[in-house]
Chains A and B, each alone.
Chain A
């Protein structure tokens, strides 16, 4: 089976030639073309449905963006005394003259002396 004679390089080349002869060009079966077109059509259908799904997703995303934009742009009526910002809300909740915040600190040291 393995070609004899010559050095190892030549024997390997001869083996590759024998391999070439052992695997000649061959013709396809009668089903080759129908199966090929079946696979092409299946891939096209898949690609088409994927494109349609992607298109629908983009349209939905666009519609949602527009709806959100409109919602944010429409001015809404505010409550008369509603706080406008965090600082304002904070100052309203705990005004500076509130005794529990700004009152002098008093320490009861009577227990410590005893």
Chain B
């Protein structure tokens, strides 16, 4: 826990300063999680604000401060899921739609070590993004929370409020799909 229970209780009673402290404590972590979940840097702050907005208006429903972190992650997962669904509807043009040749040409134009590293990281993000497009938005988020965020099944059980076996089945199926896509893209 990055904050103490007393601070959460104060925020629950409507103390704006306490809420501010909570946001400041978790802001960086939540921004990082959202960056990895939605993979669109320009929308990350907007989604993070939505998470804290939902937190502000639902904090009084939190029965025990002990479950604050799973609660906050659940809000993060839900906000990221809503964003991904909206994004799919918008059907925006993405760089991942470019051919490998076009990406290589973009690489060639970028000079310098930092640019090359950034390009390399961008390509990894694009590649993972293209693999994750093989699964639904909800499975994508579940897979990211497990494989990238490193949450255990016990932690995921608290976030999703679903039993461990059901989570295992969903995770297995999602991973199999991603593996299949990974295998075919490697060839």
Residues of A within 8 A of B (CB): 1-2, 8-9, 11-13, 15-16, 18-29, 32-33, 35-36, 39-40, 43
Q: Which residues of A contact B45 (CB under 8 A)?
A: 28-29, 32, 35
B147 near A32 with CB under 8 A, answer no
Asked if A26 contacts B32 (CB within 8 A), the reply is: yes
Q: Are B148 and A19 in contact (CB under 8 A)?
A: yes
Distance in angstroms between the alpha carbons of A25 and B23 in the assembled complex: 15
B28: Cβ under 8 A from any A Cβ: yes
Chain A residues within an 8 Å CB radius of B131: 15
Contacts of B120 in A (CB 8 A): 1
CA distance A16 to B31 in the complex (A): 18
Q: Are A25 and B29 in contact (CB under 8 A)?
A: yes
Task: Decide yes or no whether B8 CB sits under 8 A from chain A.
Answer: no
Task: Known contacts A2-B186, A12-B182, A32-B27; decide if A40 and B148 are in contact (CB<8 Å).
Answer: no
Given that A36-B49, A40-B56 are known contacts, is A23 also in contact with B127, CB under 8 Å in the complex? Answer: no
Secondary structure of the B contact surface, majority rule: helix
Of B32, B53, B179, which contacts A12 at CB under 8 A? Answer: B179
Min C-beta distance of A85 to chain B, whole Å: 57
Residues of B within 8 A of A40 (CB): 53, 56
> Are A23 and B32 in touch, CB under 8 angstroms?
yes
Interchain Cβ contacts within 8 Å, total number: 83
Binding site for A on B (CB under 8 A): 20, 23-24, 27-29, 31-32, 35-36, 39, 44-45, 48-49, 52-53, 56-57, 120-125, 127-128, 131, 147-148, 175, 178-179, 182-183, 186
10 other A-B residue contacts (CB within 8 Å) besides A26-B32, A27-B27: A2-B127, A22-B121, A22-B125, A26-B44, A29-B45, A33-B23, A33-B24, A35-B49, A36-B49, A43-B53
- Cβ 8 A contact of A15, one of B20, B31, B124, B175: B124
CB distance from A42 to the nearest CB of B (A): 10
Nearest residue, chain A, Cβ from B132: A19
How far does the Cβ of B84 sit from chain A's closest Cβ, in whole Å? 15
22 contacts between A and B (CB under 8 A): A11-B182, A15-B131, A16-B147, A19-B36, A19-B124, A19-B125, A19-B128, A19-B148, A20-B36, A22-B121, A22-B125, A23-B32, A25-B29, A25-B32, A26-B44, A29-B45, A32-B45, A35-B49, A36-B23, A36-B49, A39-B49, A43-B53
